[in-house]
Amino acid sequence: MGHETRLLIGGESTFGQGAEIEVENPATEEIVATVGSASGEQLDAAVRAATAAKASWAGMPAVDRAPLLHEIATALRAKTDELALLMTTEIGRPLTESADEVEWCAACFDYYAEVARSEIGRVIPPIEASQFSVVVKEPHGVVGCIVPWNFPLLLLTWKVAPALAAGNTVVAKPSELTPLSTLAIADVFSNLPAGTVNLVAGAGETGAAIADHPGIDCIAFTGSVATGRNVGIAAASRNARVNLEMGGKDPFIVCDDIGTEGVEIAARGGAWAAYLNAGQVCTSSERFYVMEDVFDQYVAAFVEHTDSLVIGDPLEAATDLGPMVSAAQRGKALAQVEDAVAGGAELLAGGGRAGFEKGHYLEPCVLTGVHFDADLLREETFGPVAPIVPVKDLDEAIAFANGLDFGLGANIYTRDLKRAIRCVKEVRAGSVWINDPLTDNDAGPFGGFKNSGIGRELGTEGLDAFREAKHAHIDTEIEIKEWWYPYG
Ligand code: NAD
């Protein structure tokens, strides 16, 4: 299959002149394409193109932008098979999950096309009878989007769709692990004025150059805590607007009030929440706190379900888990498992290569007896690993849940309304899912507390991330105000 390896700069397809990136298929370890990064001059050209396009795009009424954004959604849906195959080729996850991602992107463009039509501010009560006061929300200008590899098109869309809907223009960079799917969507933006969306490729230096670029007014970043901190520092050094979506270590609490059938369901839901995309989801459930009365049943059901999952070629329809994205990611997750086992934990399932000689396969792991201080219970794992810990009550579970400097998501299984509401109120995380692990809803905000992020994507909050508020005080009278000089 020939891959699109050209960048999109100012409406033109052009090969990157910077360092070459080799794109690996994690299932076969073959290099499937080579992509040229944007050179410094090309990044400048992309920013210039976005700058040149910003006034007319910002000036277009939202009602006129809306059909263009719907066209993008339609064009994405029409490319579902191609894009799903590309994402599976770059990431290694099952084709079904990749196809779902394309639909989520399309739905997000449709959502913001309409949401941005409903308001650009508000009218507020004036402080003088002769005044009329309005808050006007304006686009920032050029938005630089920097995204990771685990949901390359979705995390790009969560930035590009609201940024465009709010009237910004965009320079976007995918991860160096997954440039192909992003470069392949250049044509869906061909209905927009040239320069409105620019797509560049590159690794960390290109990301840093975007964060530092004086022509970029707002940086929207998703990735690790360490990189996000650097992006935040770069933004602060020139007071650029910034939105940071970073890592997590999501807890999954199972209460003892859900009955035998509920425990079995929570085990399956927990396994899905831990293993989806081979555990490489920012909101993967990475630590399970299960009340003592149902602990044994829960662990047994979790292990049984884990053992039943099909690990294999991500292009096969029956495959539940493909390989991890890279040798480095696999090595990092496995090292945490091995460290936990060395510290006394018991590995009840997984840890092997599922019989594959090639490919970054890691059989999903279930562990108990992990020491409280082990990295596996404290640091992001980003792999298909489920450490399960008994807790005596909800107090202890919430204390564990809140005990780290992460706060992205949290799951709770309970039928007790009091417990559910208590978790909603007390768990410090941007998403709290009660009996519904890991779902997204375009209409609701997504983001993190603490080290997991600053700002929100999705919902009206995600539109506001790309708008600056201006307060206009309009007085219909020209008169001398009594609070002016002289005071005496
Ligand atoms: P990463 O931080 O290594 O890279 C993310 C992006 O930043 C890539 O495009 C990379 O090229 C770029 N980059 C690297 N160094 C940079 C620098 N100095 N300045 C600017 N950009 C730079 O993360 P990753 O390994 O690609 O992704 C995995 C991480 O992303 C995990 O920690 C995961 O939790 C997080 N994540 C968070 C969310 C969320 O919404 N909160 C969603 C998905 C993934």
Residue 33 within any structural domain of the chain: yes
Asked whether 32 and 23 are in contact (CB, 8 A), the reply is yes
Burial class (CB in 10 A: 0-12, 13-18, 19+), 18: buried
CATH number for the domain that contains residue 123: 3.40.605.10
pLDDT digits (tens, 9 = 90+) for 363-387: 999 999 999 999 999 999 999 999 9
Containing domain of residue 300, as a range? 250-434
Same domain, 27 and 50: yes
CA 448–ligand 1 middle distance (angstroms)? 14
pLDDT higher than threshold 60 for residue 267 = yes
Question: Residue 121 is which amino acid?
Answer: G
Which residue puts its alpha carbon closest to atom 39 of ligand 1?
245
Distance separating alpha carbons of residues 257 and 419, to the nearest angstrom = 10
pLDDT classification of 402: cutoffs 50, 70, 90: very high
* pLDDT digit string, tens, across residues 332-341: 999 999 999 9
> Under a CB-based contact definition with an 8 Å cutoff, are residues 439 and 415 in contact?
no
Same domain, 296 and 426: yes
The 3-state secondary structure of 140-152, one letter per residue: CCEEEEECCCCCH
Please report whether residue 440 resides in a domain: no
Ligand 1 centroid from CA 394, angstroms: 33
Do 198 and 338 fall into the same domain? no
Residue 172 contacts residue 199 (beta carbons within 8 Å): yes
Q: Which of 243, 282, 408 has the most ligand 1 atoms within 8 A of CB, as the residue to mutate?
A: 282
Closest atom of ligand 1 to CA, residue 452 = 41
Residues 483-486: contacts with CB within 8 Å, 24+ apart? none
Residue 366 CA to ligand 1 center (angstroms) comes to 26
Residue 254 domain-assigned?
yes
pLDDT, mean of residues 48-75? 98
Q: Residues with catalytic annotation?
A: 245, 282
Residues 152 and 13 in one domain: yes
Pocket probe mutation, ligand 1, options 37, 43, 87, 146, max atoms within 8 Å of Cβ: 146
Residue 478 in domain: no
Q: Are residues 109 and 46 in the same domain?
A: yes
Of the candidates 479, 465, 452, the one whose C-alpha atom is nearest the C-alpha of residue 225 is 452
Band of residue 2 on the pLDDT scale cut at 50, 70, 90: confident
Please indicate, yes or no, whether the overall pTM of this predicted structure exceeds 0.85: yes
For the chain, the domain total comes to 2
Q: Find the 247 Cα to ligand 1 centroid distance in Å.
A: 8
CB 93 within 8 A of CB 320: no
Output the residue whose Cα is nearest ligand 1's atom 21: 207
What is the number of the ligand 1 atom nearest to the C-alpha of 329? 25
d(CA 414, CA 290): 11
Tell me, what's the pLDDT at 261?
A: 98
The residue type found at 343 is: G
188 with 287, same domain? no
**Alpha-carbon gap, residue 46 to 412, rounded angstroms:** 45
Q: Which of 164, 169, 153, 76 is nearest to 115 (CA)?
A: 164
Question: How would you list the strands of the sheet with 250-254, edge to edge?
Answer: 346-349, 365-368, 385-391, 285-291, 250-254, 409-413, 431-434
d(CA 65, ligand 1 centre) in Å: 30
**What pLDDT score was predicted for residue 1?**
53
Smallest CA separation from ligand 1 atom 23, residue: 223
* Beta-carbon count within 10 A of 316 CB: 11
Q: How far is CA 487 from the centre of its chain?
A: 56
Cα→Cα distances 337→2, 91, 346, 352, Å: 38, 22, 10, 11
Residue 444 included in any domain? no
Asked if residue 130 belongs to a domain, the reply is yes
Could you tell me if 152 and 63 lie in one domain? yes
Are the C-beta atoms of residues 459 and 443 closer than 8 Å to each other? yes
Average pLDDT of span 36-53: 98
Q: Is 50 exposed, middle or buried (0-12, 13-18, 19+ CB in 10 A)?
A: buried
Mean pLDDT in residue range 396-414: 98
Lowest mean pLDDT among 126-130, 178-182, 212-216, 400-404: 126-130
Closest protein CA for atom 30 of ligand 1: 223
Distance 428 CA to ligand 1 centre (A): 22
Are 239 and 270 in the same domain?
A: no
Residues 137 and 193 grouped into a single domain: yes
Q: Domain check: are 238 and 278 in the same one?
A: no
Q: What distance in angstroms lies between residue 120's CA and the mean position of ligand 1's atoms?
A: 31
User: Which residue has the least CA distance to atom 9 on ligand 1?
Assistant: 175
List the 169-173 sheet strands across, edge first. Answer: 12-15, 6-9, 197-199, 169-173, 142-146, 218-222, 241-245, 453-454
- Residues with Cβ within 6 A of ligand 1? 146-150, 155, 173, 175-176, 203-204, 207-208, 211, 222-224, 227, 230-231, 245-248, 282, 380, 382, 408, 448, 452-453
Contact present, 153 and 102 (Cβ < 8 Å) = yes
Distances from the Cα of 420 to the Cα of 139, 427, 433, 441, angstroms? 38, 10, 9, 20
Contact (CB, 8 A) for 200 and 38:
yes
- Residue 193 gets which letter from DSSP? P
Atom of ligand 1 nearest to the CA of 149: 26
Cα–Cα dist 383/134, whole Å:
49
Report the half-sphere exposure of 126 (CA within 13 A, side-chain side).
Answer: 12
Give a yes or no: residue 97 inside a domain.
yes
Quick one: 268 and 336 in the same domain? Answer: yes
C-alpha 21/C-alpha 344 separation (Å) is: 41
Query: Which CATH number covers residue 366?
Result: 3.40.309.10
Overall average pLDDT of the 104-109 stretch: 98
Please tell me whether residues 26 and 81 are part of one structural domain: yes
- For atom 43 of ligand 1, the residue with the nearest CA is 282
Which residue, by CA, sits nearest to atom 44 of ligand 1? 282
Q: What is the pLDDT of residues 304-319, one digit of tens each?
A: 999 999 999 999 999 9
Structural domain includes residue 51: yes
